[in-house]
Chain A
Amino acid sequence: MATFELYRRSTIGMCLTETLDEMVSNGTLSPELAIEVLVQFDKSMTEALESQVKSKVTIAGHLHTYRFCDNVWTFILQGASFKSEDFVQNVDRVKIVACDSKLLSQ
């Protein structure tokens, strides 16, 4: 089954990757097993985001850069604002990376 490696770039994904890197470096873990853990992380993260999260966010801003390559959209926004029912956040610059949701369901 195909997974999105996208979420490995998040905080939780980077923590896991660093942990696995350390363990493989000192030989505690085999690289193949580390890959399996990462793939399982991809699946679990995707599923958790679908089922456990219910919030909705609105994003607005000036689009500085857009890129579509390998079915991945990358946007760089300037002066962006993120609005949800709980909060409002404004940032100078944000990068949005989005994979095609249809690829997973094929």
Chain B
Amino acid sequence: MASSTTSTVYIHVIEDVISKVRDEFINNGGPGETVLNELQGIWEMKMMQAGVISGLTERSSGQKQPTLGGPITPVHDLNVPYEGNEEYETPTADMLFPPTPLQTPVPTPLAGAADGSMYNIPTGSSDYPTPVNDSGGNTDVKGGRPSPYMQSPSPWSNQRTPLSVDVNVAYVEGRDEVDRGTSHQPLTQDFFMMSSGKRKREDFAKQYPNGGYNIPQQDGAGDSTSEVAKAEGSNGSYFLGRCDSATTAKSKILAHLARSSSKIPQLDGPIPDPYDDMLSTPNIYNYQGVVNEDYNVVNTPAPNDLQAATPAPVAQNDIGHDDDDEPLNEDDDDDDLDDVDQGEELNTQHLVLAQFDKVTRTKSRWKCTLKDGIMHISNKDILFNKAMGDFNF
């Protein structure tokens, strides 16, 4: 029994992995044996904290202490990236919040563009790099709370509406819907800047830390999407045959939908973790993407689940004429179960990871043969070589 317990197998796996990567660490200019031992030590420590292995106290603790305290020389401190931008930080803060707001748009494109390129943020939005730069010297209202600002622009973008001047009432109303409907979308700025192009630019420059930077870059995108909004507005009114009094309402709703549809290209971007993208290594340690391209035949399905889920509700929104006449069927899925599923993804949920040999179904009876699996149920890890499943749908 001792030879086949879960703990034994895990220990064997750890040792196997470490021994097989030892060459990579030592030869060819790798980090060295010390780093390798540190990796093993931390790995084993985490496993013991998780309670899945036992009997390693001597080795891991003995190795941990010298290595952790000793020659860990960080090559590059990636946790605080903006410290490397000292040449840009001060001028950015000064230029973004000068005493005269009229001067703001002029110098910021230089600093903002440089900041955007330095961070390699794929969305191209200047939202994310700027708050990091300005967290030190940001005296603006939004800068007063940098963490919600960085994590999602929705509180920030929601905050903008009370500050805006109501020159064009229809646009303000439409933008309110946009704010509520589209959270953490950099494209919402496009619409703000679009409407700002018709209003006072100085107000926007003051409200945006990077307002001046936004104006030249995002007008183009804003133009196209607002044209789409208008086109859909006219199509929608034609489609439904409504009278003109309802056209404005329709165009607002469809403008919202157009913005939702314009979300499609960006929905699968690094939206979920803008904070992590900034403060950890952006685009350098993108190992998920690299491995998926080069090594993996089958990806872990969790990212597929998320990506498969997002196009579906957006695709429903694209059918504009369903809005008023037919229900959107939003509640067809079992929402409770799905939310719980995504919320308890890894730790609390019981999980079985395995390979399948065969999956068959007869009427509502499903049978499957699995092999080489790890089960995590009731907070325990159980391994199996073969499993037979018999489910009733």
A contact set with B: CB distance below 8 Å: 1-12, 14-16, 18-31, 33-41, 43-50, 52-77, 80, 82, 84, 87, 89, 91, 93-101, 103-104, 106
Inside 8 A of B24's CB, which chain A residues have their CB?
Answer: 33, 36
Q: Is the interface of A mostly helix, strand, loop or mixed?
A: mixed
Can you report 27 residue pairs joining A to B where beta carbons are below 8 Å apart?
A6-B300, A9-B300, A10-B374, A23-B38, A26-B74, A27-B75, A28-B74, A28-B75, A29-B39, A44-B13, A49-B372, A57-B386, A58-B387, A59-B387, A67-B305, A68-B359, A70-B298, A72-B300, A72-B304, A73-B359, A75-B366, A75-B391, A96-B389, A98-B353, A98-B354, A98-B373, A103-B298
- Chain B residues 268-323 with CB under 8 Å of chain A are 280-281, 284-287, 290-292, 295-302, 304-305, 308
Question: Any chain A CB within 8 A of the CB of B12?
Answer: yes
- Residue of chain B at shortest CB distance from A37: B21
Chain B residues bordering chain A, tally (CB within 8 A): 89
Query: How far, in whole Å, are A74 and B300 apart by their CA atoms in the complex?
Result: 10
Q: Are B20 and A100 interface neighbours, CB within 8 A?
A: no
Question: Any chain A CB within 8 A of the CB of B94?
Answer: no
Q: Are A20 and B39 interface neighbours, CB within 8 A?
A: yes
Within the complex, which residue of A35, A56, A93, A101 is in contact with B349, where a contact is CB–CB below 8 Å?
A: A93
- Residue of chain A at shortest CB distance from B71: A28
Q: Are A97 and B31 interface neighbours, CB within 8 A?
A: no
Q: Are A12 and B298 interface neighbours, CB within 8 A?
A: no
Q: Are A57 and B387 interface neighbours, CB within 8 A?
A: yes
Question: Any chain A CB within 8 A of the CB of B249?
Answer: no
Q: Are B287 and A57 interface neighbours, CB within 8 A?
A: no
Query: How far, in whole Å, are A52 and B10 apart by their CA atoms in the complex?
Result: 10
Which of B44-52, B139-147, B198-206, B210-218 lies at the binding interface?
Answer: B44-52
Within the complex, which residue of A34, A58, A77, A99 is in contact with B298, where a contact is CB–CB below 8 Å?
A: A99
Question: Any chain A CB within 8 A of the CB of B119?
Answer: no
Q: Are B13 and A95 interface neighbours, CB within 8 A?
A: no
Query: How far, in whole Å, are A90 and B17 apart by their CA atoms in the complex?
Result: 33
Which of B157-165, B189-197, B375-383 lies at the binding interface?
Answer: B375-383
B contact set with A: CB distance below 8 Å: 4, 8-10, 12-14, 16-17, 20-21, 24-25, 30-31, 35, 38-39, 42-43, 46-47, 50, 52, 72, 74-79, 280-281, 284-287, 290-292, 295-302, 304-305, 308, 337, 340-341, 346, 349-357, 359, 366, 368, 370-378, 381-393
Q: Given contacts A11-B376, A38-B291, is CB(A73)–CB(B391) below 8 Å?
A: no
Q: Are B285 and A31 interface neighbours, CB within 8 A?
A: yes
Inside 8 A of A62's CB, which chain B residues have their CB?
Answer: 391-393
* A-B complex: 5 closest residue pairs judged by Cβ atoms: A2-B297, A63-B391, A101-B355, A98-B356, A49-B372
Query: How far, in whole Å, are A16 and B284 apart by their CA atoms in the complex?
Result: 19
Q: Given contacts A15-B50, A69-B308, is CB(A97)–CB(B301) below 8 Å?
A: yes
Query: How far, in whole Å, are A88 and B346 apart by their CA atoms in the complex?
Result: 22
Q: Given contacts A12-B13, A22-B42, is CB(A6)–CB(B353) below 8 Å?
A: yes
Inside 8 A of B391's CB, which chain A residues have their CB?
Answer: 59-63, 75, 77
Query: How far, in whole Å, are A12 and B340 apart by their CA atoms in the complex?
Result: 24
- Residue of chain B at shortest CB distance from A2: B297
Q: Given contacts A3-B296, A58-B387, is CB(A64)–CB(B337) below 8 Å?
A: yes
Inside 8 A of A50's CB, which chain B residues have their CB?
Answer: 372, 385
Q: Are B13 and A60 interface neighbours, CB within 8 A?
A: no
Query: How far, in whole Å, are A45 and B290 apart by their CA atoms in the complex?
Result: 20
CB distance from A28 to the nearest CB of B (A): 6
Query: How far, in whole Å, are A4 and B284 apart by their CA atoms in the complex?
Result: 23
CB distance from A27 to the nearest CB of B (A): 4
Within the complex, which residue of B295, B383, B386 is in contact with A3, where a contact is CB–CB below 8 Å?
A: B295
Query: How far, in whole Å, are A76 and B350 apart by their CA atoms in the complex?
Result: 10
